[in-house]
Amino acid sequence: MNTTPTSTDTPHGLSSRARAEIDLHALRANVATLRARTGGAALMAVVKSDGYGHGALPCAKAALEAGATWVATATPEEALALRAQGVEAPLMCWLWTPGGPWREGVEAGLDMSVSGMWALAEVTAAAREAGRPARIQLKADTGLGRNGCQPADWTELVAAARAAEAEGTVRITGVWSHFARADEPGHPSVQRQLDTFGDMLAHAEREGVDPEVRHIANSPATLTLPASHYDLVRTGIAMYGISPSPEVGTHQELGLRPVMTLSANVALVKGVPAGHGVSYGHTYVTAEETTLALIPVGYADGIPRHASGRGPVLIGGERHTIAGRVAMDQFVVDLGSRKIQEGAEAVLFGPGDHGEPTAEDWARAADTIAYEIVTRIGKRVPRVHLGATDGDGPV
């Protein structure tokens, strides 16, 4: 197995403190599982926010190897970085603000999302300057109420985009939207959004739009709603082996395998008397004479402070719960009568095979979603990619 450390700061070999192992074999298997559920639809690998914390480039490469044919990020900067690193597959990004970088996006051949007239004006100006057409995807707000063009403004946007296409400034490569509540299968808003998408798409097609791809499905819709698959599904969280929500199912039920395993090495083990306060605020006080273990990761590493007193950890085959508050760089576990050596491995989360907690367990402990748990693991934690292929060539 090829182990490629890709930390931006500390190589794994130098880090006895903590690491996030990224199992690219699991990611490829997840992509294959998702593809098997989508019939003929293409799969777009969503690798925004550094691949939900897993490393955008190695995850994009692994997903493409496993049959994904598109890659997506939120920001243009993320997409441009992937292009510069050799990702040649169709590459979409959707979070644009006035000022661009539209020109760079045109020149890099990005698929650029357009949600309103201001964006169309800026992208067409950039395409004229660059002397080549921009690839744009029109985004419909079918009910999410976030980015995207409202149905009331759609006629104007489609007409203007078609006019730009007729003069050769843009190519409308996609019409797309995003769900608000697909993680609650059967919620009436999901069907309403699907219907609105159908209507807005039909209008665009009547006006002559002939997109390469029409898409609305994120991971939960990919897993639960075949009618939403259209030409392409945009999967993020499921590709990383995490269930979008308990309502959609557990990762085991969905045939997915968590890709990230976060572990740290115990920094200090010491005996303390009964009645000893632990960590800031002394929210935990030892009930009796006991042994404490210091785990050298904290909220600067993305360990949620909200999980103080609740976050689970596996040490030497046994589960423990954080004692007291999570600090910036460390937290403490009460081992009771157990004997553990400094340097012992503490697994915060992983696939769960060996009794370790999962990111979903941490999400429950911190009153959040597993998306946030993995995405916020900080840069100070080296990523160790297992199963990376060696090729540095174009992907």
Ligand X SMILES: Cc1ncc(COP(=O)(O)O)c(C=O)c1O
Single residue of 30, 219, 228, 263 touching ligand X by CB under 6 A = 219
**Helix, coil or strand: residue 168:** coil
Smallest gap from Cβ 119 to ligand X, in A, equals 15
The residue range among 10-18, 229-237, 261-269, 357-365 that interacts with ligand X, by the rule CB under 6 A, is 229-237
Single residue of 148, 244, 350, 352 touching ligand X by CB under 6 A = 244
Cα 343 to chain centroid distance, Å, stands at 31
* Residues with active-site annotation: 48, 280
How many angstroms separate the CA atoms of 379 and 8, rounded? 7
Are 323 and 279 spatial neighbours (Cβ–Cβ below 8 Å)? Answer: yes
Q: Does 224 bind ligand X (CB under 6 A)?
A: no
Strand order in the sheet with 232-235: 213-215, 170-176, 134-139, 111-114, 91-93, 70-73, 42-46, 232-235
Q: Does 31 bind ligand X (CB under 6 A)?
A: no
Smallest gap from Cβ 46 to ligand X, in A, equals 4
For ligand X, the closer of residues 94 and 102 by Cβ is 94
Smallest gap from Cβ 256 to ligand X, in A, equals 12
- The burial of 376, by beta-carbon neighbours within 10 Å (0-12 exposed, 13-18 middle, 19 or more buried), is given as middle
Binding string, residues 86-115; x marks residues near ligand X by CB under 6 A:
--------x---------------------
Q: Does 290 bind ligand X (CB under 6 A)?
A: no
Backbone angles phi, psi at 25, to 5 degrees: -65, -45
Are 187 and 179 spatial neighbours (Cβ–Cβ below 8 Å)? Answer: no
The residue range among 104-112, 161-169, 190-198, 237-245 that interacts with ligand X, by the rule CB under 6 A, is 237-245
260 DSSP assignment:
E
Q: Is 328 annotated as a binding residue?
A: yes
Residues at the site binding ligand X, with contacts judged by CB under 6 A: 46, 94, 178, 218-219, 234-238, 244
Could you list the residues known to form a binding site for substrate, using ranges: 146, 328
